[in-house]
Structure 1
Amino acid sequence: MSHPDQSRGGRLLTLSNAAVGGLARLGAAPRACHELTVPGRVSGRVAARPVNVLDSDGRRFVMSPRGTTQWVQNVRAGGAVTLRHGRHSETVRLVELADDAKPDLLREYLRRWGWQVSAFVNGLTADSSDADFHAAAARFPVFEIATA
Structure 2
Amino acid sequence: MTERYDQPSTAARAVNTVFRWLAEVGISVAGTRVLEVRGRKSGKPRTVVVNLLTLDGHDYVVSPRGNTQWARNARAAGAVGIGPRWHRRPVDITEVPDAAKPVLLKRYLDRWYWEVKGHVGGLTPQSSDEEISAVAPTIPVFELVR
TM-score of the superposed pair, with normalisation by structure 2: 0.91
Q: Are the counterparts in 1 of residues 19 and 29 from structure 2 also a CA contact under 8 Å?
A: no
Partner residue, 1:8: 8
Gaps of 5+ in 1: none
Task: State the distance in 2 between where 1:87 and 1:47 align.
Answer: 16
Q: Distance in 1 between matches of 2:21 and 2:5?
A: 17
SS at 1:102's partner residue? Answer: helix
Residues 80-106 of structure 1, C-alpha deviations (whole Å, 9 max, x = no match): 111113753211111001100000100
Aligned counterpart, 2:73: 74
Question: Percent identity over the alignment?
Answer: 40
CA contact (8 A) 1:111 1:126 kept: yes
Shift of 1:13: 2.1
**Could you tell me which amino acid in structure 2 is paired with residue 88 of structure 1?**
H
Alignment-derived partner of residue 107 in structure 2: 108
CA RMSD of aligned residues (A): 1.7
Asked if 2 retains the 8 angstrom alpha-carbon contact of 1:34 and 1:52, the reply is yes
Runs (5+) with no aligned partner, structure 2: none
For residues 45-89 of structure 1, give each alpha carbon's deviation from its aligned partner in whole angstroms, at most 9, with x where no partner exists: 111100001010111100100000000110111111111137532
Aligned counterpart, 2:126: 127
Q: What is the correspondence of 1:1-148 to structure 2 with a 5 Å cutoff?
A: 7-9=7-9, 11-30=10-29, 32-85=31-84, 87-147=86-146
Q: 1:98 to 1:77 in 2, by over 3 A?
A: same
For residues 8-56 of structure 1, give each alpha carbon's deviation from its aligned partner in whole angstroms, at most 9, with x where no partner exists.
31x2222222111111111222362100011100011111100001010
Distance 1:85 1:47 in 2: 14
The answer to whether the 8 A contact 2:95-2:140 is kept is: yes
The count of aligned residue pairs is: 143
Cα distance change, pair 128–69 in 1 and its aligned pair in 2 (3 A): same
Q: TM-score under structure 1 normalisation?
A: 0.90
1 CA distance for matches of 2:90 and 2:105? 24
Q: Report the 3-state secondary structure (helix = DSSP H, G, I; strand = E; otherwise coil) of the residue aligned with 1:44.
A: coil
Which amino acid is 1:47 matched to? R
User: Is residue 68–residue 140 contact of structure 1 (8 Å, CA) maintained in 2?
Assistant: yes
Query: 1: CA distance between counterparts of 2:87 and 2:15?
Result: 22
